[in-house]
A and B are shown apart, each in its own frame.
Chain A
Amino acid sequence: MRIYSKEDYRELDEKKFKLVQMDHDIKDEKFEQEPVGFFKDALIRFRQNKASVLAFFIICIVLFFTIFGPYMNSYGFNDQNSDTINMPCKIPLLAPLGICDGGKVIVNRRADLLGDPSYYPEGSILEVFNEREIQGVKMVDVKVDYYKYTGNGDKCFWFGTDYLGRDLWTRLWRGSRVSLLIAFVSVITNVFIGVIYGSIAGYYGGKVDMILMRITEIISALPRIVIITMFIMYFGTGLFAIIMALVVKGWVHTARMVRAQFYRFKQREYVLAARTLGIRDGILIFRHILPNAIGPIITSSMIAIPSAIFAESFLAYIGLGLQAPEPSIGVLLSQGQKVLLHYPNQSIIPGILISVLMISFNLFANGLRDSFDPTLRGA
């Protein structure tokens, strides 16, 4: 068998070559359709996921109320009124169904005062039950129209009022404004820091990884409460302090996750191939490996949004929440928790809102993850 050298090829006459497909149409020379970009493709795939689209609309509705809700009635978020403390929900539309009709059971009332209009104004008593005698005094439980009972028959608080008589509808939407702001800002910052940090640690490995990971260990070992107390000592209980407190430890989780993804993918064959082709580190990291992590990042950061609202509520729970009188979902929730068995509407309504946000962000995140997953591209 003859072995050809470079020189042999040079000697070949150019004329001996001919273009094989000269006469044929090249079918795959060009896409017939417009090329579909990464994001456009993602959008197409996202639209196919009905649940995610629905979730997206719910988020939009919540955002709508967050922006316009506080202006939908005449009460300001800090309008106090000592005559309307801890009122139950009253929504005229739902009242015929027997819920949110401003009714409330007040227990352990003296039976002899039932006829006294200074205690029970005209028409306020709906039902009297559970008659009993305690130490020789007749006691009853009374279901009253709490609005008439307190002399506020003409008023109407859709979600009730709090311990200072402030309208909870207004406070809820104003609160969700603040909470979402805290959540978005802190999550975006966390992802930004976490992705860069995690990529570097995961990609370079070895000593770099060792040192970077030890730093995250130190940070995550310091309990949040200590860090928060420090921040509050220096910056006060403002929006900034709370966001910072959420960021200081929050990014570590993202960083660890991204690093794990890098460990998982950096020795895959396609990465090796790309590296053989002499691709720079930066491009390898952000173009070839990181997209694999986008799924988990998006899922976890979308879920981190309601979690951030939770974390903020923990701060409120230990008394280090936002500066009064500014409400937030967390502030309302922690306030409501203390009176959960007395005025359930004060914790259930913010609870429902946070659940709805959680569900929506969750479904929305699922859709996003599927649509950004490079392995599912074009599928």
Chain B
Amino acid sequence: MTKYIIQRLIALIITLFLIMTIAFLVVRLMPGSFYDNQDLPETVIQAINAKYHFDKPLIVQYFYFIGNILHWDWGTSIAIQPNVPVFDLLKTRVPISLQINLISLFISIPIGIAAGSLAAIKKNTLVDHFISFMVVIFISVPSFIFATALQYFLAYKGGLFPIIYDAAAAMGTQKAMSMFLPVMALTFSPIARVTRYLRAELAETMNSEFLLLARTKGLTYRQAIMRHGMRNSFLPLANIIIPMFTNILGGSLVIERIFSIPGMGGMMIDSISVSDHSVTIAILMFYSFISLVTMLIVDISYGIIDPRIRVGGRK
């Protein structure tokens, strides 16, 4: 196992390096630069390009880039927040998005698991049908409709919550209140996904022999599912939670817009559309890093969740 983890860690570094190279190429090959779009004289643009080495061939620029990264210098933003080191830029926004998204994920996974197992235990009863119905509603109604409706009815008409996120408030009730609606709007889809997946998985596990054995042993249907079935269904569940985790980091664009949250949501698109290349690359690397690490954790935990699986084993 240790050998495998070390192997994976090395692979992770190589992958990150490859992603960095690809990101650099992709971003630099995109047409347009921030200063091109400004109404500046040609001579000034040339001088600025010379300062940032943009006048050198791509390969030379690449070495400058790698050299800087090795010194943990991710460059400075030129358009979104001029002169601010990209790392600091992310440092102020990541926690806000992360906070809201993690809370919503931590709320939705247990609820999803509970609802999913309930539906599986009560398969084909009224409870199951009700849960399935809610799942479909939660998944198929776009989040912006939910968010707009929550905002309109609970905040604007009802006055129960603030209409927008309160960025200035210190941690406390006031902040929590302003976070409530966006978190709620974000939980619908993950709850539904987890529920649906778990129900399907459990329903499949129901048909396997070891559960039959568990039943013959004298366990009730419910006990059998809780003690034996669940463990078996966590593996595929892990598989849908990872993309959820990475998606949720960047996928709340619409929610952040509606509730005016100064998070990461629109940063990627913004940085691309104003050609702030260092920011684009840094965000790209940030997302990649998160998704790679979660994937690694899940892969390693495969073996822990399901002892029959020997990770990396041959055919």
Q: B interface vs A, CB < 8 Å? A: 7, 11, 14-15, 18-19, 22-23, 26-27, 30-31, 136-137, 139-142, 144-145, 148, 152, 196, 200, 204, 207-208, 235-236, 239, 243, 246, 250, 254, 268-269, 272, 280, 283-284, 287-288, 291-292, 295, 302, 306, 308-315
Contact = CB atoms under 8 A, between A and B. Distances in A.
A218 interface: yes
B315 A355 contact: no
Interface in A329-379: 333, 337, 340-341, 347-348, 351, 354-355, 357-359, 362, 366, 369, 373, 375-376
B31 A306 contact: no
8 contacts: A210-B7, A260-B239, A260-B302, A337-B148, A340-B144, A348-B145, A357-B140, A375-B207
Interface string A262-290: 01101100000000000001000000000
B188 to A, nearest CB: 13
Contact of B236 (A217, A266, A296): A296
Nearest to A340: B148
In this complex, the member of A214, A223, A333, A357 whose beta carbon has the largest number of chain B beta carbons within 10 angstroms is: A223
A221 B291 CA distance: 7
- DSSP class of B's interface residues: helix, strand, loop or mixed? helix
B295 A217 contact: yes
A209 interface: yes
Nearest to A338: B144
Nearest to A206: B314
Interface in A207-245: 209-210, 214, 217-218, 220-223, 225-226, 229-230, 233
In this complex, the member of A217, A220, A318 whose beta carbon has the largest number of chain B beta carbons within 10 angstroms is: A217
- DSSP class of A's interface residues: helix, strand, loop or mixed? helix
A359 B7 contact: no
B284 A226 contact: yes
A313 B18 CA distance: 31
Given A267-B308, A341-B148, A310 B142 contact: yes
Say which size band chain A's interface belongs to: 35 or more
Contacts of A366: 200
Nearest to B31: A233
A161 to B, nearest CB: 21
Contact of A214 (B15, B136, B243, B272): B15
